[in-house]
Amino acid sequence: MSLQCKFFVIPIKNVQESEKELNGFLRSVRVITIHREFVAQGENSFWGMAVEYAADGVVRTGEGETSLTGRKKVDYRDVLSPEIFAIFSKLRDWRKAAAAQEEIPVYTILTNEQLAKIAEKRITTKADLREIEGVGDARVKKYGEAVIKIVSEFPENKGSANETERQSLSSDSNS
């Protein structure tokens, strides 16, 4: 496992900027441990923190890479077709923006595995979204419309509407 450390000093006065930096960092990495110590120096007192984290969230073994959860790391570019990977990428971009806005880790919205299943099945209804393992009513209610909108934007999911439009245009041009 590739462990790294990052150190923070959080003064007891004007804490906002240091606190913001620490919280942003903690949201962006897989934390292993946090060592903290309060240093009492009157008005110059501070919290000293050492954060141990997995550098890339991946454990390297002789048998390949696994995540810290013990699952094999998947490169979805290799696993998904180019068309499905395009949907997956769009969903991942949306998830990253949503997580940043909510100030939460991306995997708490939907995991890569869930995004891949959504893309593969081309989910376009909330009922179908609920069938993805680990996606319950709360996630469907909170994120369902955004997910469905993204998946529905891809031409493969508009097939019958596009075909009808093309037929209409070609019959107009033949007139």
Residues 56 and 87 in one domain: no
Q: Which of 27, 61, 95 is the last residue of a domain?
A: 61
- 69 within domain boundaries: no
CA 38 to CA 24: how far, in whole Å? 21
DSSP 64-130: EEEETTSPBP--HHHHS-HHHHHHHHHHHHHHHHHHHHHTS-GGGT--HHHHHHHHHHT--SHHHHH
Looking up tokens 């897989």 gives 30
The reply to whether 80 and 140 lie within a common domain is yes
Shortest CA distance to 112 belongs to which of 152, 72, 142, 145? 72
* Rounded-to-integer distance, Cα 28 and Cα 17, Å: 17
pLDDT tens-digit profile, the chain (175 residues): 567 889 999 998 888 888 888 888 888 778 888 999 999 999 899 999 999 887 655 444 444 444 545 556 778 888 899 999 999 999 999 999 999 998 888 888 999 999 999 999 999 999 999 999 999 999 999 999 999 999 999 876 544 333 333 333 344 444 4
Predicted structure pTM score = 0.53
Q: What is the pLDDT of residue 30?
A: 80
37 and 78 in a common domain: no
